[in-house]
Chains A and B, each alone.
Chain A
Amino acid sequence: MPLPDGDPERLARLIELEEAAALAHRLGGTGLGEQEAEHAAALRSELAGFTVRHPGAPTRAEQLSGAARALAEGDRTAAVALEQELVATYLREVPALVEDGVVRTAATILASHAQHLALVRARDVDARPSGANREAR
C-alpha cells in the first residue's frame, strides 16, 4: 500500500497551484498576482527545508488549465472560481500538514486566499488603495 502524502508532496502541489494562480492573476490584471507569487516563494522556502526542489513556474497562459487559464486569457470573472479552488484546496491540505512551521505558513496563505476571494467577489479589486494594486497598473 502506498504511503500517505507527507508535507513535501503537499507543499509541491500547493506551489504548483500558487504559481499558476500568480501567472493567471498577472495576465488577468486583477492586482493579486504579486501576492500569489509571495505565497509560492514562502512555500518554496518551506519545501527547501526538506531538501526538495520544485521545478520552475509556468510562464505562458497555454501552460495553465481551468479557471487559471480562463483568467489568464482575460476572463476576470474566473478570478472568483480560481480563488474558490484555492481556498478549498487549503481547507483540505492545511489540517493534513504536519510540521508546525509548514502548517502556520499554509494557514496564513489560506487566510490570504479567503481575503482574495472576498475581494474578487465584491469586484473590489480595482478600488483598492494603490499600494496593493501596483502591479496591475
Chain B
Amino acid sequence: MSGLTRRALLAAGAGLLAGCGAPAREPSDRALLARLDAARREAACCWPEGRRRALRVAVEILPRLRDPSARRRVAALVAEDATRLAELRVENGEDPLRDAFGGIA
C-alpha cells in the first residue's frame, strides 16, 4: 500500500471515528417549538388523546429548550393543556386524575 493511500485511509478512518463519537446535534428551539405546535394542532382532532400526546411532547421538549422565555412559555402550555385534559376527562365521565403525574404517560 502506498504512503499516500495509507494516509488517505487513516484520514478517512479518523473522520469516521470522529463522526461516530460526536454527540447528535440538538434541534434548535425553533424546531422543537414547531414540533409542539404541530402536536397541539393535531390535538384538536382527537380529544382527549390528542391533548395527552401534545402534553407529552411539551414535557419532552422542555429541558431541551435553550431560551428561558421559550421554557416559560412551554411550562405555561403544560399547565394550560393539563387543565383542559382534566376538563375533557370529566366531560367524558372519566377520572380526571388518573395518576399523580398529569395522566401523561
Contacts and interface: CB of A to CB of B under 8 A. Distances in A.
Given A108-B101, A112-B101, A119-B86, A129 B95 contact: yes
Given A111-B81, A115-B83, 6 more contacts: A35-B99, A94-B71, A95-B62, A107-B58, A114-B102, A115-B103
A128 B90 CA distance: 9
Contact of A132 (B59, B68, B80, B95): B95
- Of B63, B90, B100, which is in contact with the most chain A CB atoms at under 10 Å from its CB? B100
28 contacts: A35-B97, A35-B100, A91-B75, A91-B76, A94-B71, A94-B75, A95-B68, A97-B63, A103-B63, A107-B59, A107-B75, A108-B59, A108-B101, A108-B102, A110-B78, A110-B79, A111-B59, A111-B81, A111-B82, A111-B101, A112-B100, A114-B82, A114-B83, A115-B82, A115-B85, A119-B86, A128-B97, A131-B95
B75 A90 contact: yes
Interface in A29-74: 32, 34-36, 38-39, 42
B79 A111 contact: yes
A96 B95 CA distance: 31
Interface in B20-77: 55, 58-60, 62-64, 68, 71-72, 75-76
A36 B100 CA distance: 7
Interface of A: 32, 34-36, 38-39, 42, 87, 90-91, 94-100, 103-104, 107-119, 122, 124, 128-129, 131-132
Nearest to B68: A95
A100 B99 CA distance: 21
B78 to A, nearest CB: 5
Nearest to A112: B102
A122 B89 CA distance: 13
Nearest to B95: A129
B66 to A, nearest CB: 11
A110 B82 contact: yes
A91 B102 contact: no
Contacts of B87: 118
Contacts of B98: 132
